[in-house]
Structure 1
Amino acid sequence: DGLEGSTGASPRSSLEHAGLPTELGLRETHLALTALGLRGLVKLRAGGGVKTETDAIKLMLLGADQVTIATALMIAQGCVHCNLCHTGACPTLIAGQLNPRAVYPGSAEHVKRFLLEFGAAIGRLAARLGFSHPKALVGRSDLLCVRSASDLASTLPDAYGVDTAALLRRVSLLDLSMLTATPPHARAFRATGRIDGFDRTIVEQLDRDQDLLDALESGRSIQRTFTLTSRSSIDFAVSVAGRIARRWGRDGWPHPQLIQLRTYGTAGQSYGAFCIHGLELVHSGSCNDGVGKAMSGGRIVVRQPEGFVGKSWETTLVGNTVAFGATGGTIFVQGRAGQRLAVRNSGATIVCEGAGEYACEYMSAGRVVLLGPASGSIGAGMTDGVIYVYDPEGSEDVRFAVDSRSVAVVTPSEVDRYEELLPLLDAYYEATRSERAREARQNLYDFHKVIPNAALMEETRRQLAVDVGGTIAG
Structure 2
Amino acid sequence: MKTGLDVVKAAILGAESFGFGTAPMVAMGCKFLRICHLNNCATGVATQDETLRKEYFKGLPEMVVNYFTGLADEVRELLAELGVEKLTDLIGRTDLLEAVEGMTAKQSKLDLSSILETPVSPLSHPLYWTEPNQPFDKAELNQKIIEETEAAVESRAGGSFYFDVRNTDRSVGARLSGSVAKRYGNQGMATSPIKLYLDGTAGQSLGVWNAGGVEIYLTGDANDYVGKGMAGGKLVIKLTCTTFACNDATIVGNTCLYGATGGKLFAAGTAGERFGVRNSGTIAVIEGAGDNACEYMTGGIVAILGATGVNFGAGMTGGFAYVMDSNETLKVASTRNR
Report TM bin, short chain.
0.7 to 0.9
**Partners of 2:146 and 2:12 in 1: how far apart?**
31
Provide the residue aligned with 2:183 in structure 1: 247
Decide whether the 8 Å contact of 1:88 with 1:97 is kept in 2.
yes
Q: Show CA shifts across 1:282-323 (max 9, x none).
A: 11222121111111111111111x345312232212111101
What corresponds to 2:64 in structure 1?
114
Paired residue for 2:103?
Answer: 164
> What is the correspondence of 1:257-406 to structure 2 with a 5 Å cutoff?
257-304=192-239, 306-392=240-326, 395-402=327-334
Conservation of the 8 A alpha-carbon contact between 1:341 and 1:359:
yes
Aligned to 1:199: 138
Q: Residues 82-135 of structure 1, C-alpha deviation per residue, up to 9 Å, x if partnerless?
A: 11223333223444457977765446x73476269649966995996656xx9x
Determine whether 1:84 maps to 2:35: yes
C-alpha spacing 1:106/1:98, structure 2 compared with 1 (3 Å) = closer
Q: Percent identity?
A: 29
TM-aligned CA deviation for residue 61 of structure 1: 7.3
Deviations 1:439-465 (A, max 9, x none): xxxxxxxxxxxxxxxxxxxxxxxxxxx
CA 1:94–1:384 in 2, change beyond 3 Å: closer, same or farther?
farther
Contact residue 254 and residue 273 of structure 2 kept, 8 A: yes
Q: Report deviation, 1:365.
A: 0.6
Counterpart contact for 1:340–1:361, Cα < 8 Å: yes
1: CA distance, partners of 2:233 / 2:204:
19
SS, match of residue 328 in structure 1: coil
Instruction: Give the Cα–Cα distance (whole angstroms) in 2 for the partners of residues 112 and 222 of structure 1.
Output: 40
Alignment of 1:141-156 (within 5 A): 141-144=91-94, 147-149=97-99, 152=100
User: Could you tell me whether the CA contact under 8 Å between 2:94 and 2:116 is conserved in 1?
Assistant: no
Go from structure 1 to structure 2 and tell me whether the alpha carbon gap of 1:389 and 1:148 turns closer, same or farther (over 3 Å shift).
same
CA distance in structure 2 between the aligned counterparts of 1:323 and 1:67, rounded to whole angstroms: 28
Alpha-carbon distance in structure 1 between the residues aligned to 2:223 and 2:268 = 15
Residue-by-residue CA offset, 1:316-369 (whole Å, 9 max, x unaligned): 121111011111111111111111111111111111111121111111110011
Please give the secondary structure, in 2, of the residue aligned with 1:247: helix
Q: Kindly report the root-mean-square deviation, in angstroms, between the aligned alpha carbons of the 2 structures.
A: 3.7
The residue that corresponds to 1:12 in the other structure is: none
Partner SS, residue 206 of structure 1 = helix
For this pair of structures, how many residues does the alignment match?
Answer: 331
- How do 1:215-254 and structure 2 match up within 5 A? 215-231=152-168, 233-253=169-189
Q: What amino acid is aligned across from residue 234 of structure 1 in structure 2? A: R
Question: Structure 1 residues 359 and 52, CA, compared in 2 at 3 Å: closer, same or farther?
Answer: farther
CA contact (8 A) 1:275 1:297 kept: yes
Match of 1:176 among 106, 114, 118: 114
1:368-391 alpha-carbon deviations (Å, 9 max, x no partner): 111121111111111111100012
Say if 1:319 and 1:101 are closer, same or farther in 2 by CA, change over 3 A: closer
Q: Which amino acid aligns with 1:398?
A: L
Describe the superposition over 1:182-210 as per-residue Cα deviations: whole angstroms up to 9, x where unpaired.
5639948845445433233223323433x
Unaligned 5+ segments in structure 2 are none
Question: TM-score normalized by structure 1?
Answer: 0.60
Shift in CA distance, 238/102, structure 1 to aligned 2, threshold 3 Å: closer
Q: Which runs of 5+ in 1 are unaligned?
A: 1-49, 154-162, 407-474
